[in-house]
Amino acid sequence: MGATTIPLLMTRPAGSNEQFIDGAPPELISRFRAVLSPLIEIVGSRVDLEIPVNDGVIFTSANGVSFGPSGAGRPAYCIGQATTRAASQAGWDSQCAGANADALIRFLIDRKPDRKLWHLSGVYSRGAVREKLCAAGLTVERRVVYDQQHVPMTQEARALLTGPDPVVVPLFSPRTAAHFVRACPRDARPYVVALSSAVAEPVSTLDVSSVDVAEQPTAEAMWHAIEKVGVRITLG
């Protein structure tokens, strides 16, 4: 890549960073230089889980698919297209139920599946999915199948943030955003792109060059927001 590429500091867990970069529009990614510094490590929980043949599952991330059982054709209700694809590949009869937890909850309340549902999630799960669905009369049990553990920011990332070049930092979850704020050098001035207003909220305590929020909580919208920031940086 040329000297004019803009550093793009990726803080998602290993695998998720690469998946996001691989999904970039070809004409756009050539303008950025990806630097990987995961701030979260995904660790599977030791859980012996058997889903009854007539039950279904809820996946709010692809990590739930990775650490859950195989689908064997049973129904799965998923957040986002990437999670839906992962569930299909794992043998689930998967449906995309929306781009976020609120949309998934509305989807399931409207359809009222006549079966028990298992929400296979991480230790940290936002949106109170089980609680809201149970309050609406659905039968849902949450089972933790993985943990999201903090890891330190790399020295390369810290040096990049304190260097002379502008750095764009996409952030995808409130918990990662809060960890980034704690780890970010105080004299850094990154250009932050947040998946949602909830993700942007922790960054309000950090002195940054700018904070842009994606119009929708999707990879496509994140890349669109990153592109706009890149144009601003290039034009000065």
195-208 pLDDT per residue, tens? 999 999 999 999 99
In-domain check, residue 1: no
Are 61 and 141 part of one and the same domain?
yes
- State which of 147, 163, 190 marks the end of a domain: 147
* 226, two tokens: 């990153």
Q: How many domains does the chain have?
A: 2
Which pLDDT score is estimated for 26? 86
pLDDT tens, 85-97? Answer: 999 999 999 999 9
Q: Nearest Cα to 13, choosing from 143, 123, 142, 147? A: 147
CB 112 within 8 A of CB 138: yes
Measured distance CA(71)–CA(88) in Å, rounded? 8
Q: Nearest Cα to 167, choosing from 176, 180, 179? A: 180
pLDDT tens, 147-165? Answer: 999 999 999 999 999 999 9
Q: Which strands sit side by side in the sheet containing 191-194, from one edge to the other?
A: 32-36, 6-10, 168-171, 191-194, 210-213
pLDDT tens, 161-197? Answer: 999 999 999 999 999 999 999 999 999 999 999 999 9
Domain of 182 in residue numbering reads as 6-39+151-235
Q: Which pTM does this prediction carry?
A: 0.83
In-domain check, residue 106: yes
Are 66 and 122 part of one and the same domain?
yes
- State which of 147, 162, 193 marks the end of a domain: 147
Are 142 and 61 part of one and the same domain?
yes
- State which of 108, 124, 147 marks the end of a domain: 147
Are 65 and 129 part of one and the same domain?
yes
Which residues are paired to 41 by β-bridges?
Answer: 149
Measured distance CA(213)–CA(228) in Å, rounded? 11
The per-residue pLDDT of the chain, averaged, comes to 93
Are 87 and 19 part of one and the same domain?
no
| CATH assignment of the domain containing 181 | 3.40.50.10090
Are 100 and 173 part of one and the same domain?
no
